[in-house]
Chain A
């Protein structure tokens, strides 16, 4: 049976294989996703991000269990960094989700960032589509909130959950500049630790600058003890309701679709350019000349672009 059909019938091996194919830039994956795109858009996609050690995996595990208790199904995409030196990675998020691994209503997939420019968001978005078609009602994308591409992924979700922990001190100042504003819901994990209240207060103060009609709630949780998780899930659901009722969901999805199209154009263009310029040699040669001040970069770029016209 064809992969697409198997996926439609809820075959988990088909789902898993299709994600791999998308990750490996297999053109067949694109064809399948084209043919099944109509079937996506059902799931509530939740991006979870925050600093390393914030307890994101444990929290994802507990949120997934709470959703399962409501009879809904869950997909989890856990993204970890790939070593830029060896191209390898150790993806360890499943360690904290062991009870979920035999639950037929849960599908967990670990992904390495693999260092490709922009390719990460393409691969994770493909994985989201696959899990959506596969039948997941809720899809979590968990990324470490350190790199821009990881942050972008979380931002592309319907709801973005920022997980913070006490004891980051000045880090919160640094983080807030770059990524704090993307949070739709905030969780202060390890809330039994010293400084949890202060962390929550700092987030609230920052949110005071937010003038939109959705004030992101800040929820104290202790993920390991499953405390505050129900409430947190409630906030996530409320956010979705708000997005739907105000028509923002549609707008956000239009915007995200636009970004995705632009991403794909960029990627295809780049590939065309690289192919046409005969495996980068043209660019490499030009680069040598530019560096030696024998040519300038502006003219060089124009020369490359001419190749694909």
Chain B
């Protein structure tokens, strides 16, 4: 990119600048000894072409919509249409959540994003002992197809795209979605949406696992295979760095560990006999957006370039769609403060800008009150408006990858890619992501970063406005959302009714068929779908699989 002679001159000049800079700070020290990014990487006073001496435009960036996709996965990005403004929501009963979805659609939300309660995420019915106190709390409680029918009542499934944050029992919830569509007269090939379906990050960071690694990976590849034939527009997995970052990782770890998980899924699918170009175009990713806007933009760009190279070089993908990393973004929940919660609106705005400048395909913006409770309708609206303001008023959406060519951004993109690649290499040496998780390597790395971050905050090395600086005396915030504690009883009653009403002999036979299939090599999706259609409950279906597969044992690294 730069000719040798020019580069030499720049280098010289940059060195002279550095010397001058050193001298000046001896007289007038800077605000800090060292400047660090949000992830603790050192930041220099100035970036010049000397920081990216090998920079090769076509090799490193290329054009948007083409390999290596550094600048974005579409040619004109948001000039065609904006990213999907997708607000994660769901709480209490299916009836309540259905109302919230209709409200969000009215307010201009373009896709649904379903949050399930913890018993649902872990495959327990609402009347299970472990569900006590948890029903409907962090999301909607779904026990059977009957609940799912209510959840999407009046929402035409051929018109919306739906993202479901569901992992261990993803196959069951997807089957329920397909079954609801059938009842609406919508065939499965018209369905659009995403299931998270990323079990590895559950083991690493999020904790809602059920089965051990091997059967879990099998369920995932079963879904890949089934969807490639029957639900071709469905994104079968959302390989998530979001929770890895929330657990305390750095930006480079977020990329490295997430792509290492991605590699494990591709490996598993290829091992199961699938053609890489059949399933890879349906893979999608999910990243976090933190406050260090420049580091975050570089992170997204690095992730795209690295994945494109991995798919092409490591897996020999031919279809460009297999190489293009599409991703959903959520603003960083852990960056929000319980203190002076209005400040969170500003944080979310910065993070929104980071995601948009980084080329996200869809975005959930957190609400200001999420460090305190589930968001109210009002605070969700402000969060959505934040996206709309960035979309319509900021100008950031009107040209593609506007920060490209910044010496800092390009140097940072290189650096994150390099660091992430080093993590992937290390994980390859251990034998791949599942083994590295089993050995506790990934958890340990994240935990070390998280603990350092906490210590920096407590030492005042890192300032969080309103929390460890600029504090005020404040009243307890009012008007937080409260989930009616009677939800648990309500769901229990609904379940009892269902169990009395349905054809229990049919349920039993479908469950037995599923159980038998678990011990064979068969694709489990059709069996699960059959059980769902007969109104077998989520807990019953997962229970049968628990019997055959057993349960995952957490590997704790402290």
Are A and B close enough to touch in the complex, i.e. CB under 8 Å?
A: yes
* A95 and B212 contact, CB distance less than 8 A: no
Is B439 interfacial (CB-CB < 8 Å)?
Answer: yes
CA distance A95 to B558 in the complex (A): 11
Question: Cβ of A90: which chain B residues have Cβ within 8 Å of it?
Answer: 558
In the assembled complex, the Cα of A90 lies from the Cα of B447 at a distance in Å of 14
* A window 214-243: CB within 8 A of B: 224-225
- Which of the 9-residue segments B37-45, B370-378, B548-556 touches chain A? B548-556
Are B439's CB and A224's CB within 8 A?
no
**8 Å CB interface, B510-558 against A:** 550, 553-554, 556, 558
List A residues 40-74 near B (Cβ within 8 Å): 53, 58
Chain A 255-292, CB-CB to B under 8 Å as 1, else 0, gives: 00000000000000000000000000000000000000
Contact A92 B556 (CB under 8 A): yes
| A96/B550 in contact, CB under 8 A | no
A58 to B550, CA, bound (A): 15
> Is B212 in contact with A224, judged by CB distance below 8 angstroms?
yes
Nearest CB in chain A to that of B554: its residue: A95
Which chain B residues numbered 365 to 391 have a C-beta less than 8 Å away from chain A?
none
Q: Are A96 and B558 interface neighbours, CB within 8 A?
A: no
CA distance A188 to B439 in the complex (A): 17
Among A53, A58, A92, A95, point to the contact of B439 (Cβ < 8 A).
A53
Q: Mark A90-115, 1 if CB is under 8 A from B, else 0.
A: 10100110000000000000000000
A92-B553 CB under 8 A given contacts A53-B439, A224-B212: no
Decide if A225 touches B556 in the complex (CB within 8 Å): no
By the criterion CB–CB under 8 Å, are A224 and B556 in contact? no
Complex CA–CA separation, A92 to B558 (angstroms): 8
**How many whole Å from B454's CB to the nearest CB in chain A?**
15
Chain B's nearest CB lies how many Å from the CB of A196? 14
> How close is A256's CB to chain B, nearest CB, in angstroms?
33
A53–B436 CA distance with the chains assembled, in angstroms: 12
Shortest beta-carbon distance from A61 to chain B in Å: 9
Complex Cα distance, B215 from A225, in Å, reads 13
Main secondary structure of the interface of A (DSSP, over half): helix
Q: How many residues of A contact B (CB 8 A)?
A: 8
Determine the distance from Cα of A96 to Cα of B556 in the docked complex, in whole angstroms. 9
Q: Is the CB of B553 within 8 A of A224?
A: yes
Give chain B residues whose Cβ lies under 8 Å from the Cβ of A96. Answer: 553
Cβ–Cβ < 8 Å partners of B553 in chain A: 58, 96, 224
Contact residues in B for A224 (Cβ distance below 8 Å): 212, 553
Given A53-B439, A224-B212: A95 and B556 interface contact (C-beta under 8 Å): yes
Task: Give B132 Cβ to nearest chain A Cβ, in Å.
Answer: 15
Chain B residue at smallest Cβ distance from A93:
B556
Report the nearest B residue to A226, measured CB to CB.
B550
Complex Cα distance, B558 from A96, in Å, reads 14
Most buried by B among A58, A90, A224: A224
Cα of A154 to Cα of B173 in the assembled complex, Å: 49
What is the bound-complex CA distance between A65 and B291, given in angstroms?
A: 49
Considering the complex, give the chain B residue whose CB is closest to the CB of A194. B431
Q: CB-CB < 8 A to B212: which residues of A?
A: 224
Assess the A225–B554 pair: CB atoms within 8 A.
Answer: no
Residues of B within 8 A of A92 (CB): 556, 558
Complex Cα spacing A65 to B550, Å: 16
Contacts of B554 in A (CB 8 A): 95
User: In the complex, which residue of chain B has the Cβ closest to the Cβ of A167?
Assistant: B431
Instruction: Produce 1/0 per residue, A193-226, CB < 8 A to B.
Output: 0000000000000000000000000000000110
Return the chain B residue nearest A53 by Cβ: B439
Q: Are B558 and A225 in contact (CB under 8 A)?
A: no
Interface string of B255-279 (1 = CB under 8 A from A): 0000000000000000000000000
Give the complex CA separation of A224 and B211 in angstroms.
12
Min CB distance, A82 to chain B, in Å?
14
- Closest A-chain residue to B550, C-beta based? A225
State the Cβ distance, B292 to closest chain A Cβ, in Å.
31
Task: Name the A residues within 8 Å of B558 (CB-CB).
Answer: 90, 92
Task: Give Cα A112–Cα B330 distance, bound, in whole angstroms.
Answer: 41
Distance between Cα atoms of A90 and B444 in the complex (Å): 14
Instruction: Looking at the assembled complex, report how far the CB atom of B165 sits from the nearest CB atom of chain A, in whole angstroms.
Output: 26
CB of A206 to closest CB in B, whole Å: 26
Bound: A224/B558 CA distance, A:
20
Question: Which residue of chain B has the shortest Cβ distance to A58 in the bound complex?
Answer: B553
CB closest chain-B residue, reference A225 = B550
Q: Mark A127-150, 1 if CB is under 8 A from B, else 0.
A: 000000000000000000000000
Per-position binary interface string of chain B over residues 119-135, scored 1 when its CB falls under 8 Å from any chain A CB and 0 otherwise:
00000000000000000
| Distance from B299 Cβ to chain A, minimum over Cβ atoms (Å) | 31
Q: Which residues of A contact B439 (CB under 8 A)?
A: 53
A240: shortest Cβ distance to chain B, in Å? Answer: 29
Min CB gap B547→A, angstroms = 14
Query: CA A225 – CA B550 in complex, angstroms?
Result: 8
* Nearest opposing residue in chain B for A91, CB measure: B558
Tell me the minimal C-beta distance from B8 to chain A in angstroms: 48
Max chain A Cβ within 10 angstroms of own Cβ: one of B212, B439, B550, B553: B553
Chain B residues near A58 (CB-CB < 8 A) = 553
**CA of A90 to CA of B558 in the docked complex: distance in angstroms?**
7
How many Å from the CB of B25 to the closest CB on chain A? Answer: 34
CB distance from B210 to the nearest CB of A (A): 15
B407-456 residues with Cβ-Cβ distance < 8 A to A are: 439
Closest-CB distance, A225 to chain B (whole angstroms): 7
- Per-residue interface assignment for chain A, residues 147 to 158, with 1 indicating a CB less than 8 Å from any chain B CB and 0 otherwise: 000000000000
- Smallest CB–CB gap between B267 and chain A, Å? 17
Residues on B with C-beta less than 8 A from A225 are 550
| Separation of A34 and B439 alpha carbons in the complex (Å) | 44
Footprint of B on A, CB under 8 Å?
Answer: 53, 58, 90, 92, 95-96, 224-225
Pull 11 A–B residue pairs with CB atoms less than 8 Å apart, ordered by A.
A53-B439, A58-B553, A90-B558, A92-B556, A92-B558, A95-B554, A95-B556, A96-B553, A224-B212, A224-B553, A225-B550
Known pairs A58-B553, A95-B556. 9 more at Cβ < 8 A? A53-B439, A90-B558, A92-B556, A92-B558, A95-B554, A96-B553, A224-B212, A224-B553, A225-B550
Nearest 9 interchain pairs by C-beta: A90-B558, A95-B556, A92-B556, A224-B553, A92-B558, A95-B554, A96-B553, A58-B553, A53-B439
